[in-house]
Amino acid sequence: MTATDIEHATGPIVSPPAALPLVKGRPITGVLPELRGDPMGLFTRTANQYGGLVRLNLGTSEAWLVSEPEILKSILQEKRRNFVKSDYLNDLHIIIGDGVFMAEGDAWKDARHVVQKSFHTARMNGFVDQMTETTGEMLERWRAKQRRGEPIEVVQETMRLTLDVILRTMFSRRLDEAHQVLYETVSWLLRDLERRFWRLVPIPPWAPVPSNRQRAQAIKVLDEFVYEIIEERRRSPGSKDDLLERLITIYEEEGGASRDMLRNEALTFIIAGQDTTASALTWMLCELSRHPELARQYKAEIDRVTQGRTPKIDDLDQFEFGHRFFKETLRLNPPAWTFSRMPLVDDELAGHPIKARTTVIMPIFALHRRADLWDNPEGFDPDRFTEENEQKRHRFAYIPFGGGPRACIGARFSTLENLAVTAMILQNHRLELVPGYKVEHEPMFIQRPRGGLRMRLCDA
Ligand code: HEM
């Protein structure tokens, strides 16, 4: 992009505080080619060059790119009733329905209240034990691979692990052979979601095309799994102590829930929680191998706190350095690298009028790399997250889990999972990137390393 690509908007803006930049891009297509080719680069360059509030020409429409912490705060907090989830999530909506992730207004408020209660901190203990149990089984498989001298494919391993953890904590099931089909189905649905995300012309959900038929079939597989478990719980209530049981109990205390409401929340946890946590874990392992000195510091903390035991929740809370390392990993590699909203009716942002239904892109990846917000933004430095340094920063300058009342419900769950898993891995192994691997971000719906991530296992 060159300086000539940019023009200052005139006309409809009556008395703006300052002219709002418009990135025009190419004739006819605007910035669409760059958006499809290198969206992370486009957003990061634009935010760094033209500031935190910029218009992007998408050819036949326009989107606003917002990476100014104060404006993000107003969208996600003060103005959140008008700035709703945008049409870009329609395909996700088809899978997870009107659960807490997609709902708006009073329906969202009710769902959020119940789901949040089911994730209550006091109940996380048991979940951590299931996370470490699942990790122990993964490490058994890794040892066999190490003996055979095989590298591990980290993306696949973390995807399996995080789905297994969700099945155990949510449904008291395991990712055994009988449930292998779930892994394949969820993986297929996530890839399908990504293919649709980048299409210039969306496929209408009613179109009789093979991809819609395949998607309906995949959703049916998940529905059958979830509905069967819901029926089982209804026949013998209180038989399990997992997230689903908690949801059912809390809903009952609040007047009950239909089977579809439970189904929507259950699928939301699977879809919103698996890929994101796997991506975070993958990048954590990648950053640990890229920064051996910092990895040794984390390992020393793990050894000091756990004395070689399997970590418990209280141990994880004492990983002060581990938490900072994790936060810095999510700054440079936020799994949800961008998210969006649209105003229901005409509104304004920082004094600039915005038309109803304009897409507002909130590029977390670019926000976390703004040179005016972060010193040496590309450098990896967990010290950015000491308490003192965190207090100096705007709260909305760092939002890997979103912000405001709709911030991620699973933030603590996935943070604990990340620390538990990495602690157990480091107690046993050192991971080295297979030489020759160029690691770069692939901007899928949830970003991950392009072409996977192969690592070699060494003894700790
Ligand atoms: C590292 C892992 C994760 C990351 C980076 C992440 C990121 C996010 C982000 C950015 C949002 C805000 C979306 C928006 O405002 O449009 C969000 C919301 C949400 N996340 Fe996560 N998430 C993670 C793990 C999880 C897990 C493990 C679960 C559940 C098991 C979960 C469930 C949800 C739900 C239900 C919402 C919607 C909350 C609402 O709208 O009130 N997430 N997440």
Q: How far apart are the first and last CA of the chain?
A: 46
Could you give the C-alpha distances from 368 to 13, 102, 372, 387, in angstroms and in order?
29, 25, 10, 18
> How many helices and strands in the chain, by DSSP H and E?
17, 14
State the distance from the centre of ligand 1 to the C-alpha of 400, rounded, in angstroms.
Answer: 9
Classified as helix, coil or strand, 400 is: coil
Q: What is the pLDDT at residue 430?
A: 93
Pocket mutation for ligand 1, best pick of 83, 285, 406, 409 (most atoms within 8 Å of C-beta): 409
What's phi and psi for 65, nearest 5 deg?
-110, 115
With respect to residue 356, please indicate whether it lies within any of the assigned structural domains: yes
pLDDT of residue 256: 82
Domain that holds residue 395: 18-96+337-399
**162 falls within a domain:** no
118 touches ligand 1 (CB under 6 Å): no
Strand 339-343 vs strand 359-362: parallel, antiparallel, or unpaired? Answer: antiparallel
Residue type, 433: L
Cross-strand bridge partners of residue 354:
347
Q: Is residue 168 part of a domain?
A: no
- CA 62 to CA 31: how far, in whole Å? 10
Q: Counting atoms of ligand 1 from 1, which one is nearest the CA of 243?
A: 30
Establish whether residue 273 lines the binding site of ligand 1, counting it when its CB lies within 6 angstroms of any ligand atom.
yes
In a domain, residue 38? The reply is: yes
Name residues whose C-beta falls within 8 Å of residue 321's C-beta, 6 or more positions apart in sequence.
297, 298, 301, 382
Q: Which two tokens stand for residue 41?
A: 């680069």
Residues 6+ apart with CB under 8 A from 53: 20, 64, 65, 66, 68, 71, 349, 350, 352
**For ligand 1, mutation pick of 101, 408, 447, 448 (most atoms within 8 Å of CB):** 408
Ligand 1 centre distance from Cα of residue 415 (Å)? 12
* Residue 145 domain-assigned (yes or no): no
pLDDT at 240: 86
For the beta carbon of residue 447, count every other beta carbon within 10 angstroms.
Answer: 25
Asked if 332 and 380 count as a contact pair (C-beta separation under 8 A), the reply is yes
State the Rg of the chain over Cα: 23
CA–CA separation, 200 and 47 (whole Å):
23
Query: Residue-wise pLDDT tens for the chain (460 aa)?
Result: 443 344 444 334 444 467 899 999 999 999 999 998 999 999 999 999 999 999 999 998 999 999 999 999 999 999 999 999 988 888 999 999 999 999 999 999 999 999 998 887 667 889 999 999 999 999 999 999 999 999 999 999 999 999 999 999 999 999 988 788 999 999 999 889 888 877 777 888 999 999 999 999 999 999 999 999 999 998 888 888 899 999 998 888 888 888 999 999 999 999 999 999 999 999 999 999 999 999 999 999 999 999 999 999 999 999 999 999 999 999 999 999 999 999 999 999 999 999 999 999 999 999 999 999 999 999 999 999 999 999 999 999 999 999 999 999 999 999 999 999 999 999 999 999 988 778 999 998 899 999 999 999 998 8
The β-bridge partners of 57 are 62
Q: 406 alpha carbon to ligand 1 midpoint, in Å?
A: 9
pTM of structure: 0.93
CATH number of the domain bearing residue 34: 1.10.630.10
Tell me phi and psi for residue 31, to 5 degrees: -95, 10
Q: Is 406 in the pocket of ligand 1 (CB under 6 A)?
A: yes
Record the tokens describing residue 50, joined without a space.
């033209």
CA–CA separation, 95 and 219 (whole Å): 7
In a domain, 30, yes or no: yes
Q: Is any ligand 1 atom within 6 A of the Cβ of residue 365?
A: no
Q: In sequence order, which residues have a C-beta less than 8 Å from that of residue 43 and are 6 or more positions away?
A: 65, 67, 338, 361, 363, 365, 366
The total number of structural domains that make up the chain: 1
Instruction: Output phi, psi for 342, to 5 deg.
Output: -145, 140
Contacts of 28-37 with C-beta under 8 Å, sequence gap 24+, read 28/59, 29/59, 30/56, 30/57, 30/58, 30/59, 31/56, 31/57, 31/58, 32/58, 32/59, 32/200, 34/1, 36/198, 36/200
The response to whether residue 276 sits with its C-beta less than 6 Å from ligand 1 reads: yes
pLDDT (0 to 100) of residue 177? 83
339 lines ligand 1 (CB under 6 A): yes
Q: Is the beta carbon of 103 within 6 A of some atom in ligand 1?
A: no
- Report angle CA 92, 98, 104 to the nearest 5 degrees: 105
In a domain, 63, yes or no: yes
The closest of 82, 57, 56 to 67, measured between CA atoms, is 56
For ligand 1, the distance from its centroid to the CA atom of residue 186, given in whole angstroms, is 17
**223 found inside a domain:** no
CA-proximal residue: ligand 1, atom 8 (nearest): 401
| pLDDT at residue number 1 | 41
